[in-house]
Structure 1
Amino acid sequence: MSDVLILNGRLVDPASGVDGERDLLLRHGRVAAVEMPGVLRAVKGKEIGKEIGKEIIDAKGMIVAPGLVDVHVHLREPGQTYKESIKTGTAAAAAGGFTSVVAMPNTLPVNDSVEKLEWMLDASRGACVKLFAMPAATFGSLGEEITDYHELQRVGAVGFTDDGKPVLHDRVMRAALVAAAGIGVPVSQHAEDTRLTGGCSMNAGPVAFRLGLRGMTVEAESKIVERDIRLLRDIEQHDGLRPHLHVQHVSTAKAMEAIRQARRAGLHVTCEVAPHHFTLTDEAIGEYDTNAKMNPPLRNDADRMAMIAGLMDGTVDCIATDHAPHALFEKEQEFERAPNGITGLETALGLALRVLHKGNGMPISRVIELMSAQPAGIVSLEGRGTLKVDSFADVVIFDPAAEWSFAAAKSLSKSRNTPFDGAPMLGRVMATICEGVIVYRG
Structure 2
Amino acid sequence: MPTGPTGLPSGTSDATPSGAASPRRPRRELAAASVGSVVEAYDWTIYGVLAPYFAEQLFPGSSPAAKVIAAYLGFALGFLVRPLGSVVIGRLTDTRGRRYGLSLTVGLIAGGSLLLAVVPGHAAIGMAAPLLVVAVRLVQGLSVGAENPGVAAYVTEIAPGRSRYFYSAVSYGGVVLGSALSFIVLNVLLGVFGEAGVEGGAWRLAFVFGALLGLTALWIRHGVAESEAFTTAAQKHGKESPWPVLQAHLGRLAVVFVLTSGATTVFYFLTVDFPAYAEDTGAVTKEEASGALLLGMVALLGGMLAGGRVADRFGALRVLRVGFAGLALGTVPLLTAMAAGRVAVPLVAAVLLFLLGLPLAVSNVFAGQLFPPAVRAVAVGLPAALAISLFGGTFPMLAELLRSASIGTWVPWWPTLTCAGALLASWGVREHPVPVTPHP
Q: TM-score normalised to the size of structure 2?
A: 0.25
- If each structure's helix is expressed as a fraction of its own residues, which one has the higher value? 2
User: Greater relative contact order (Cα 8 A, min sep 6): structure 1 or 2?
Assistant: 2
Higher share of residues assigned strand: 1
